[in-house]
Amino acid sequence: MTIASLDDYIASVKTYPIFWKSAGKATNAFAPFTVFDLAGMPSTGTLAVGNTANGLVPTCAENGFPMMPTLSNTGYLSRVIYSNICLCNIAIYDKLFHCGAYSFNANVTLSAQPSYSGRVPGANYAGLELWFECVTAFTGTPSIQINYLDQDGNTGDTGVIALPLAMPQGRMFRMPLAAGDTGIQQITQVRGTIATVGTFNMCVMRPLWQGRIGGAYEVKVDDLLKTGLPQVYSTSALYVVVTADSTNTQTPYFQLEIADK
């Protein structure tokens, strides 16, 4: 079923996953960083994916991802309560696929990639995003090129993208797709050049929600009218990206509401 009315929402079964970090990470101001590898709840995750040949589809059962409820019907992200010490933008994604960690000079053609179609509502790949994720710090400014299948299954190529600076550990960068492409079904080849040290993952992520902390220690609540009720799954790997105005992610906190209807 779907939530088509306030009565549907009231009647839905609700669960409340918690996400918080007890330590911050040094960042570049106004640049996105993962907090996946920091202590807190859930427990610390490992950045290096551990599979460069095929990639993996992560799930909430793995360390670092909030545990999702077992959904009987359709799950929706219906409320987000969030705070942080610092001024920042915070985003939540469903991390659908990742591969790595690749060396700075990688040239790898993937094969037998697992499908993440079961976590793409309506089999609509438009809107899925391609992200670079720094596992170990780079020396030199890396250039990355990704071949992929686009939202319709056609071949695509990012071209050589010079990342904006030498990447510190945890830095993320959203890769632009080729002109006219709006999403991604599969990563097929990963190449790196220019830099001399560093390792990285590539990720496909589905955006779920984004919020803004405009004051230190501010607590905000986004209800179903603000979240827009994006669909989530029992296996969704919820992934938090913090873009701080300053040079530390600080300690983001979330209480999520998942409505099952």
Domain definitions of the chain by residue range: 14-260
Residue 143 DSSP SS3: strand
DSSP state of 194: S
Residues 76-90: b if buried by 16+ CB within 10 A, e if exposed: bbbbbbbbbbbebbb
The helix (run of H) or strand (run of E) holding residue 199 is: strand 197-213
- Measured CA to CA, the distance from residue 56 to residue 73 in angstroms comes to 26
- Measured CA to CA, the distance from residue 252 to residue 21 in angstroms comes to 6
Q: How confident is the prediction along the chain (261 residues), in pLDDT tens digits per residue?
A: 689 999 999 999 999 999 999 999 999 999 999 999 999 999 999 999 999 999 999 999 999 999 999 999 999 999 999 999 999 999 999 999 999 999 999 999 999 999 999 999 999 999 999 999 999 999 999 999 999 999 999 999 999 999 988 899 999 999 999 999 999 999 999 999 999 999 999 999 999 999 999 999 999 999 999 999 999 999 999 999 999 999 999 999 999 999 999
Q: Can you give the pLDDT at residue 1?
A: 67
Q: Can you give the pLDDT at residue 166?
A: 83
- Measured CA to CA, the distance from residue 25 to residue 185 in angstroms comes to 31
- For the record, the structure tokens of 138 come out as 């780079």
Cβ atoms within 10 Å, residue 8: 13
